[in-house]
Amino acid sequence: MCVRLESYESEEHQKMVRSFLDGRFENTAFCLLAPDGETRLSGTGRSPSQGLRQRRGPGRGRGDNGVVEAMEKVAKKFRAKGTKEGAILQDFHSFRQGLNVASGDQRLLIFVVATENDRKTLGTDLRDLMSDKEIIGKFHMDFADEEPDSQWRDAVKGERGNTGIFVIRANAFGQTGSVMEQLPVDATPEELKNALLEANTSFAKTEKRKVYSEHVAAGRRARVHFENGMPYGEDRDGDGVIDHRAGRGGRGAGPEAGERRGPPAGRRGGPPRGNRRPGQPPQRPRIRPGGTE
Amino acid sequence: MKAAHVFWISIFSGGLALAQGPRPDDLGASPQPVGEAGVAWYTTWETARAEAERSNRPIFFMAAAATCSGISGVF
């Protein structure tokens, strides 16, 4: 099973990243872990090829194949138990982050707003549906929490009532959204499945796939900024202090949290950087989820 | 499975770039069509660990920024 944490969401997440990178903090970290969540089954690193190759033995491969082989070899060591339909449901620490991630992945967000008792019930009752082969991997899901999500309505248009299962389409920058479908918390699984599939079909027909370089450029022009839980920037020397390097344009290398800033000097409207030649189509994304369960 | 291959190929092909830190202008479009199934991510450590223990399956751990230069809507 796969977990993807937002590196800048909290100090706790950054501590985890540092634990995998020998005390350094960088935007990304990869590792394979045993089901206990503690025993490491691979090396660690900021890229899959650095992190996921096994430390010794066959499977310490060349390039992509070595990583996949290492993952397959690790998976075979464990006999899965429990049913697929009993899988614990996804949740976010906050609606705000869920909306942002849904936007980034270009998926619809299922947002459950209900009493605590109903949330507990739905957390079990919806497992079967969310494991359905027609549903799994197509949506993100979040259960509203009292404290961090009290202002969720401010970011969303089209909601009605105080509770419900909301199917939300995030805007391009994941800071606002609109309700595509809304069902009562006691909707049947069939009703919910039909609504989800219908919304996803509509979404797929009307959502333009993002080209991330263009998205970032548009965000700079619009002075978009997402204030995360931790200051942006990396600590590559592992001294516990975020490095400030002029000209760093990588993910997370933007302004300090809370600071709104436009593009770096000389970047606005300038030619594309990187290895892409003029006229060459955008490259395959360097970090990008896709795949399947 | 096709979608899985799209994911793993795309993510592994970025290995070198990740090691150096990608620049925003290096980022293209996702190879995955909108609306198709992708990875069923867990997005909190608590739920991930609970599911791993429940199902006795190993964990693919990834941490990344859901922003690029402070701009949201990218993951």
Q: Which of residues 93-112 of A touch B (CB under 8 A)?
A: 93, 97-98, 100-101, 103-107
Q: Kindly state the percentage of chain B with pLDDT values over 90.
A: 51
Which residue did the predictor score with more confidence, A209 or A281?
A209
pLDDT band at A249; cut points 50, 70, 90: very low
CA distance A44 to A70: 13
For residues A126-147, average pLDDT: 95
Is the per-residue pLDDT at B72 higher than 90?
yes
Is A1 in Cβ contact with B51 (below 8 Å)?
A: yes
CA distance B50 to B20: 33
Say yes or no: A164 contacts chain B, CB-CB below 8 A: no
* Average pLDDT of every residue of chain A: 83
pLDDT band at B61; cut points 50, 70, 90: very high
The domain limits of chain A are 2-75, 95-206
Q: Residue length, chain B?
A: 75
Q: What torsion, rounded to 10 degrees, do the Cα atoms A96, A178, B27, B58 define? A: 60
Candidates 3.40.190.80, 3.40.30.10, 1.20.950.20, 3.40.190.10; correct CATH number of A95-206? 3.40.30.10
Enter the ipTM.
0.82
pLDDT band at B49; cut points 50, 70, 90: very high
Say yes or no: A283 contacts chain B, CB-CB below 8 A: yes
What pLDDT, on a 0 to 100 scale, did the predictor assign at position A67?
78
What pLDDT, on a 0 to 100 scale, did the predictor assign at position A170?
98
Looking at the complex, report in whole angstroms how far the Cα of residue A162 sits from the nearest Cα belonging to chain B: 25
pLDDT band at A215; cut points 50, 70, 90: very high
| Contacts A234 to B, Cβ<8 Å | 21
For residues A146-156, average pLDDT: 88
Residues A63-89 pLDDT 10s:
555 778 888 889 999 999 999 899 999
Side chain identity, residue B63? A
pLDDT band at A147; cut points 50, 70, 90: confident
Is B26 in Cβ contact with A216 (below 8 Å)?
A: no
Which residue did the predictor score with more confidence, A101 or B26?
A101
Is B75 in Cβ contact with A101 (below 8 Å)?
A: yes
Name which of B28, B52, B62 is nearest A212 (Cβ-Cβ).
Answer: B28
Is the per-residue pLDDT at B46 higher than 90?
yes
For residues A241-255, average pLDDT: 54
